[in-house]
Structure 1
């Protein structure tokens, strides 16, 4: 089991250590020991503790120490562009105060093992700050993942948002103001616990029931039942009664009852199930250890692909983003999309590198174990181009997770590992596919490769993932001479074995990434809508347990839809991540059955369908046949109006004897079978036909 920096562990009555969750803030290989930080203490300061590495591993074997999870506060799970500039300034100022000691191994060890640490007081004096101020910043920094963003101000806890204020003698809110000085407004009513109970009873009795009274009438009933004496007293004295206002009754309605309670109580069960419930049915030398440096780069694949909805629609060549660990050569991240090399596509590749891979491979029909592709960490630094990665957006979003290093222009050798992986993928797989351009090596007169394209984006991605897994298992002789661990453990010199061996011996520079933080900060932000049919995004509908249990679709149907912040994985339409409240983390929502046509497709396919529909509307604004139909309808209407105008009958004569006229009309126009004993039906039909060619010919009757 991996013991990496920033991982969370739950300790239960082990060797005198307080029971609770701890974060690993440092692993010392020389001693050997690791330093843990206690996470359960909400108030007051905590100090890290040191524990022997062998003792810690022994606790894991005895199941006294288990892996755990720790949810970060919501204000740390926001994208950089969503954070207020003033908050960023406070964060940077706080980080400047502690950056010299927060990751200093000698100080961390002394702080964890000694009761008095003069270094801290001396450091605080140099910074011109109180020792406790520095200690509080260190506490926050270690508690929330040793990340720069951990020092963002937590203003969501200020002001008592969402809490009921304590009743006092002074009225809450703005006072009543008069438009003119000639009129004096009444005193603001202070709502007590008794008043809340009275309002609750009145709303439940008169308003929140099938066919209940509106809120204005309900307030009148409230005053008649509970404030009659006050109304009479004020009338006798000629002043305004001291009673709850309409606005107060309306506000306390939303506080005393949830939206769904209001909907359910105001409807009968049948009406609720029929009209108001949710509709979810149908529903190497310088970089010796893994994590020292990752390389990221993009290339246009040497193959053309087609649309999933029509193999005749060629979509061009996709863009491949690859991330490779420089020490081991392991491909740790991958993304294939129709976007050109851009920050939008790069952030998808980074999210893939920082998150587990088993679920990603499963989306493309490839079943693996986490140990088959164990890369799900952030590196010490990230080497990238000065193209799409030199902009402000990647600096804001990625730097808090890792450090960016830009390669010089026109120097691909600075990213030799990732560039070589592109060459290997071309040689091993891409240049053997139908529709390949073979790197532009096309002889004049050769067949256009676009005409041979047969693979969809999902199929090409699945082939690419399989090729990546094979490259990670391939033998590279250079790995055997770069580290003695592979020889000591008698392992083949493959990138995968190199990675695992160094992780097991804690010889790496990797940091465990929090999945919720990666999703909220790296997946492209989008806007979804909560509707009666579920969560709508790009004309597709999603849902999750939160929607069902909270009956949010029913609320949207009754009270109108609203927008939600979302994060989108552009590799699949099967799910999106949605934040239902500004204080919540992002929740995974799965595709509903009503959008099953879009299942197991990349996000660009729904956009293709929408473009196809727009094209059809532009080409066919109206049908040609409708033009002739309009002329026919106009002529018929004109003739009918002319006939009616020449009719001399009165309205009474028109409607008189309707039944008799109807019967006569039927006899004139309908077929009639008669029983004629003189002549046979055949003879009668022949004679009638000869005498009157336009007469009706009756068929022979069947003998009974």
Structure 2
């Protein structure tokens, strides 16, 4: 094995040297010796030893001498620029005192092999230094590496740093200094071992517990529990009590318990793990391939919205679902609705995640191709919290497609990537909307944000989609350190570039999604009715080419309507998916023109109309006028019955006899007649059709009016 100057070796069970760690000071081939210096000794003056090179190598072969390491003290591990000028001057001065003797190899060999070395005393007299002082400098130089930095003064341990001082009759630390001579400070208290033990008990009792008292209140509790007699006596004598001060109590609380112990004892385990533990790892350290983990979560948007059918109707705050790829930070799916966090809304976000995005964006007036948002895949594992995804239905639907992974309760850091996306969307878009709550940071007395709400659900969704597209094209520094493919292909570290290059290089965990399977499994199921006017759902009517070809509306008109299975996309009313035949798949049916008022709106607007209609019915189930009419009708019926009862009794045949003559007499009695002669000459047009009378009826003349100018 190669021997090097300054290398460290450990001797164990050797008959040539004591068990210790040695530094190789020099290798002298002319005398075939190696000079070693012991590093285990704490003495200020240590002399080196010399061994033959052959004997040293034999010890190595016999494994009695092995390679070792020496830990350099911290006060030597400092940059030249950070050393004070006083320390540099002291170091250089000591080095100049020994620089001539440390290069003398003959002196080193004699000093290591002989008990008396006159050269040391002669050199000490020459530089004007005592022999022992020179020996101490040489020991320090050889122990710490044989360079100039080894002579730095070790002032880092001055004052007994890190050592606990034993209490005496003399107070430790700085004395109490009054700010003016007019006031005399109280005598300083000396903290004994008994006091320290008492501090420890008091701290455990009041301070070191979840929701424990503050340190000041704990100090007051200690005075009440342990020093009450001293306080009473001092108060009676009119002098300060001779008790530990708050400053002393604070000092010893940090000495008796470490900071980590204090943090752990004063907080719950859940809060410590979530907010106070060290963050040495990361959720993305094992997820560097796209598709390995998708994270899904929901939050209530920080903005109030209004209805598209009437801006005077405030609908509250929508719920945003986001699905994020953990490796690339790509937002791969989203959904905005008025439903609370639930499986109904989550499944819509997953449908958006698993299907191409161009059609989805087109519904909101954003025209993109699938390459700009190239996410239509199923992940290897879907990470969610213990909420809407825990039920049996999500497991039954998603387990055949992907693996579900749940984070512990109250641990959002388990899916920190999606949590951060919510923060980004709030800061970039949502907090700029009118009607925003700004995350609850509303000053008391300020304007209610609901008064400023002007945006509809569709408008908010449109802006969030734009923000998602911008996010996917933004540069994230962390991505540059996650994969070298970006650097090799000279691509900006954006989520979309990270996604695309890994897919192209076949380094991903993505699975292709079958659109028919996604629609059948994930879209919310519903029942629709086939009617004579089309497929009816929540007051809306749909149709498709197959319905027209099979003339199903005509069948429904003649044979009666029937139920059909359907899948509803909550994002739009423009279409639904209907299974027209139980042995076939789902057919896309479009909104008919008779329901055009709901075109390009979300399905929630249909629900709103239903609720609005129900509220109007509840507001006026019947009118007040109908009540009065009903009472008047009953009164009239009662009077008519009484009148009929009072008339003379005749048979039904007599009642129905001469109806036409009775009708004519009733007309003569109840209407204005010009002349009796004219009336007698009238012919019933119902009995003699197409009869034209050539008779002129003479109308009565009025008085002759005078015309201006007649007298001329």
For the aligned pair, the TM-score class normalised by the smaller chain equals: 0.5 to 0.7
**CA apart distance, 1:666:** 4.0
Q: Structure 1, residues 124-146: CA drift from partner, whole Å, max 9, x if none?
A: xxxxxxxxxxxxxxxxxxxxxxx
**CA apart distance, 1:526:** 1.2
For residues 319 and 703 of structure 2, what CA distance do their matches in structure 1 show?
88
Q: Map 1:377-416 onto structure 2 (within 5 A).
A: 377-416=377-416
For residues 309 and 623 of structure 1, what CA distance do their matches in structure 2 show?
26
User: 1:667 aligns to what SS in structure 2?
Assistant: coil
Q: Map 1:281-292 onto structure 2 (within 5 A).
A: 284-292=284-292
Q: Map 1:129-148 onto structure 2 (within 5 A).
A: none
Match of 2:453? 453
Flag the 1:323–1:655 CA change in 2: closer, same or farther, 3 A. Answer: same
Flag the 1:682–1:523 CA change in 2: closer, same or farther, 3 A. Answer: farther
Q: Map 1:297-696 onto structure 2 (within 5 A).
A: 297-638=297-638, 651=655, 652=657, 655-656=660-661, 658-659=663-664, 662=667, 665-668=670-673, 679-680=703-704
**CA apart distance, 1:629:** 2.1
- The answer for unaligned runs of 5 or more in structure 1 is 1-283, 684-704
For residues 525 and 367 of structure 2, what CA distance do their matches in structure 1 show?
29
For residues 394 and 703 of structure 2, what CA distance do their matches in structure 1 show?
100
Pairwise CA RMSD: 2.5
Q: Structure 1, residues 565-598: CA drift from partner, whole Å, max 9, x if none?
A: 1111111111111112222111111111111122
Match of 2:293? 293
For residues 639 and 346 of structure 1, what CA distance do their matches in structure 2 show?
66
Flag the 1:655–1:638 CA change in 2: closer, same or farther, 3 A. Answer: farther
For residues 702 and 311 of structure 2, what CA distance do their matches in structure 1 show?
73
Q: Map 1:7-406 onto structure 2 (within 5 A).
A: 284-406=284-406
**CA apart distance, 1:633:** 3.4
Match of 2:97? none
For residues 700 and 551 of structure 2, what CA distance do their matches in structure 1 show?
73
Flag the 1:610–1:675 CA change in 2: closer, same or farther, 3 A. Answer: closer
**CA apart distance, 1:635:** 4.4
**CA apart distance, 1:640:** 5.0
User: 1:370 aligns to what SS in structure 2?
Assistant: coil
Flag the 1:663–1:369 CA change in 2: closer, same or farther, 3 A. Answer: same
Q: Structure 1, residues 502-536: CA drift from partner, whole Å, max 9, x if none?
A: 11121111111000001111111111122211111
Flag the 1:640–1:425 CA change in 2: closer, same or farther, 3 A. Answer: same
For residues 558 and 310 of structure 1, what CA distance do their matches in structure 2 show?
39
Q: Structure 1, residues 141-187: CA drift from partner, whole Å, max 9, x if none?
A: xxxxxxxxxxxxxxxxxxxxxxxxxxxxxxxxxxxxxxxxxxxxxxx
For residues 607 and 676 of structure 1, what CA distance do their matches in structure 2 show?
68
**CA apart distance, 1:285:** 3.8
**CA apart distance, 1:487:** 2.1
User: 2:371 aligns to what SS in structure 1?
Assistant: helix
**CA apart distance, 1:637:** 4.5
**CA apart distance, 1:493:** 1.4
User: 1:400 aligns to what SS in structure 2?
Assistant: coil
User: 1:372 aligns to what SS in structure 2?
Assistant: coil
- The answer for unaligned runs of 5 or more in structure 2 is 1-283, 679-696, 708-712
Q: Structure 1, residues 624-680: CA drift from partner, whole Å, max 9, x if none?
A: 11122234434444555555566669533564364476367543499x997667932
Q: Structure 1, residues 229-274: CA drift from partner, whole Å, max 9, x if none?
A: xxxxxxxxxxxxxxxxxxxxxxxxxxxxxxxxxxxxxxxxxxxxxx
For residues 534 and 615 of structure 1, what CA distance do their matches in structure 2 show?
27
User: 2:578 aligns to what SS in structure 1?
Assistant: strand
Scaled by the length of structure 2, what TM-score is found? 0.53
Flag the 1:348–1:659 CA change in 2: closer, same or farther, 3 A. Answer: same
Relative contact order: is structure 1 or structure 2 higher (C-alpha 8 Å, sep ≥ 6)? Answer: 1
**CA apart distance, 1:292:** 1.1
For residues 643 and 381 of structure 1, what CA distance do their matches in structure 2 show?
86
| Higher CA-based Rg | 2
For residues 294 and 677 of structure 1, what CA distance do their matches in structure 2 show?
98
Match of 1:205? none
For residues 497 and 441 of structure 1, what CA distance do their matches in structure 2 show?
36
**CA apart distance, 1:341:** 1.0
For residues 354 and 654 of structure 1, what CA distance do their matches in structure 2 show?
79
Flag the 1:633–1:421 CA change in 2: closer, same or farther, 3 A. Answer: same
For residues 682 and 544 of structure 1, what CA distance do their matches in structure 2 show?
77
For residues 492 and 701 of structure 2, what CA distance do their matches in structure 1 show?
107
For residues 585 and 370 of structure 1, what CA distance do their matches in structure 2 show?
25
**CA apart distance, 1:354:** 0.2
Stretches of 4+ aligned residues off by more than 6 angstroms: none
For residues 677 and 369 of structure 1, what CA distance do their matches in structure 2 show?
87
For residues 427 and 551 of structure 2, what CA distance do their matches in structure 1 show?
53
Q: Structure 1, residues 282-337: CA drift from partner, whole Å, max 9, x if none?
A: xx441122111111111111111111222122111111110001111110000111
Flag the 1:288–1:654 CA change in 2: closer, same or farther, 3 A. Answer: closer
